[in-house]
Amino acid sequence: MHIQTRLVHNGGGPDPATGSIAPPLHLSTNFERSADGGYARGYIYTRMQNPNRDALELCLMNLDGGQESVAFASGTGAIVALLQALEPGAHAVLGEDLYFGTAKSLRALVEPWGVKLSFVDATDPARVKAALTPQTKLVFVESPSNPFLKITDLAALAEIARKGGARLAVDNTFATPVLQRPLELGADAVVYATTKYLNGHSDALGGAAVFKANDEFANKVRMIQGLGGGVPSPFDCWLLLRGLRTLPLRMREHCANAARVAAFLQSHPAIKTVHYPGLESHAGHAIARRQMPGGFGGMIAAQVKAGRDGALAAVAKAKVFLRATSLGGVESLIEHRASTEGPGTRTPDDLLRISVGIEHADDLIEDLKQMLG
Ligand SMILES: *Cc1c(COP(=O)(O)O)cnc(C)c1O
């Protein structure tokens, strides 16, 4: 069956006990043991397993076509677990245009644990290849990346990683499995901030890692989930499954709206540069066309001619767009990215990051018109 059909029925059908169409929410932290001391129904304690988390993990695993999936309390939790699954002494190559928080967390937590990190421009496969050492166990990239929406050739990187004895993991948060399918392009793992598009309603924090094979690496991440304890709550799992039912529908609208907004921004005299992989002028457009068959996504970065003051002045006038960080919700957001990231940011001061929502494109364009003057 097609993704959209499977997602609508992602709760596993009516509840066998009551016939409820919406899946029941299992808030219980602990589960009854049988008289013989066993666990006939498979559940012991919610940090280890929970019916709502099981349903979510099964859905995410099938969505990407993987063989294992591990849910976390945040996207950062999933990414840190992936790197923590490497042994001290191992080396990882990371794309340099990664979500600011990811680079910060990995430097603070994973480097002291003894995993060496090299940040390179992953849009050039030759640089990734050159950065590999005999100790390299993981290549980790975002495509589209954050905040520049750079495109990396994932099939090329999968080949380079494989030949170098390393795994390729892709943060697919911006694209979602509806637009881009990294495991089918040769990646070994995909991670998500499910907080963003997969949930889609800005009301549940979460993360997940999905693996091509249920191997030693996946088992290690599963162990970190249970023993580390960074698990999502049953209600967040329930909310995520609810959000996922409309993911294909929402992504269609995000893509269509973003294409219109990007074209409008590109034609506007106050704008210096628009970064959107759907534009023919984008450096990664040809690769994106091939590797994102479902569309180019809802994220746009735009640099304004009037610099930091001009960018902040534009954002101050927003009416339909909301001034907030994060992305992937139904509502359109705009932010001055450098000041969100704060000290150590690599983002230019004139850059606005836009998460295009599912409002009517005409209303979004009208709002941007009055913001940019
Ligand atoms: C938000 C985000 C993360 C981090 O996810 P959290 O749920 O905020 O921890 C990781 N990667 C990308 C691309 C993101 O946008």
Taking residues 260-280, report their average pLDDT: 98
Residue 227 pLDDT exceeds 90: yes
Atom 8 in ligand 1: which residue has the minimum CA distance? 75
Atom 5 in ligand 1: which residue has the minimum CA distance? 75
Q: Residues 14-69: pLDDT tens digits?
A: 999 999 999 999 999 999 999 999 999 999 999 999 999 999 999 999 999 999 99
The 3-class secondary structure across the chain, one letter per residue, is CCHHHHHHCCCCCCCCCCCCCCCCCCCCCECCCCCCCCCCCCCCECCCCCHHHHHHHHHHHHHHCCCEEEEECCHHHHHHHHHHCCCCCCEEEEECCCCHHHHHHHHHHHCCCCCEEEEECCCCHHHHHHHCCCCEEEEEEECCCCCCCCCCCHHHHHHHHHHCCCEEEEECCCCHHHHCCHHHHCCCEEEEECCCCCCCCCCCCCEEEEECCCCHHHHHHHHHHHHHCCCCCHHHHHHHHHHHCCHHHHHHHHHHHHHHHHHHHHCCCCEEEEECCCCCCCCCHHHHHHHCCCCCCCEEEEEECCHHHHHHHHHHCCCCCEECCCCCCCCCEEEEHHHHHCCCCCCCCCEEEEECCCCCHHHHHHHHHHHHC
Cα of 206 vs centre of ligand 1, distance in Å, is 9
Taking residues 275-290, report their average pLDDT: 98
Write down the pLDDT at residue 31: 97
Best residue for ligand 1 mutational test, from 102, 143, 194 (most atoms within 8 Å of Cβ): 102
Let me know if 245 is a catalytic residue.
Answer: no
Tell me, yes or no, if the pTM score tops 0.95. Answer: yes
Cα of 184 vs centre of ligand 1, distance in Å, is 22
Write down the pLDDT at residue 65: 97
Q: For all residues of the chain together, what is the average pLDDT?
A: 97
Catalytic option among 6, 43, 47, 127? 47
Taking residues 288-307, report their average pLDDT: 98
Residue 11 pLDDT exceeds 90: no
Taking residues 138-162, report their average pLDDT: 97
Residue 269 pLDDT exceeds 90: yes
Q: Residues 232-254: pLDDT tens digits?
A: 999 999 999 999 999 999 999 99
Taking residues 160-186, report their average pLDDT: 98
In this structure, the residues whose C-beta lies within 6 A of any atom of ligand 1 are 74-76, 99, 101-102, 142, 146, 171, 173-174, 193, 195-196, 205, 207
Write down the pLDDT at residue 13: 85
Q: Residues 59-109: pLDDT tens digits?
A: 999 999 999 999 999 999 999 999 999 999 999 999 999 999 999 999 999
Cα of 74 vs centre of ligand 1, distance in Å, is 7
Taking residues 179-184, report their average pLDDT: 98
Residue 261 pLDDT exceeds 90: yes
Catalytic option among 64, 97, 153, 171? 171
Write down the pLDDT at residue 337: 94
pLDDT above 70 coverage of the chain, percent: 100
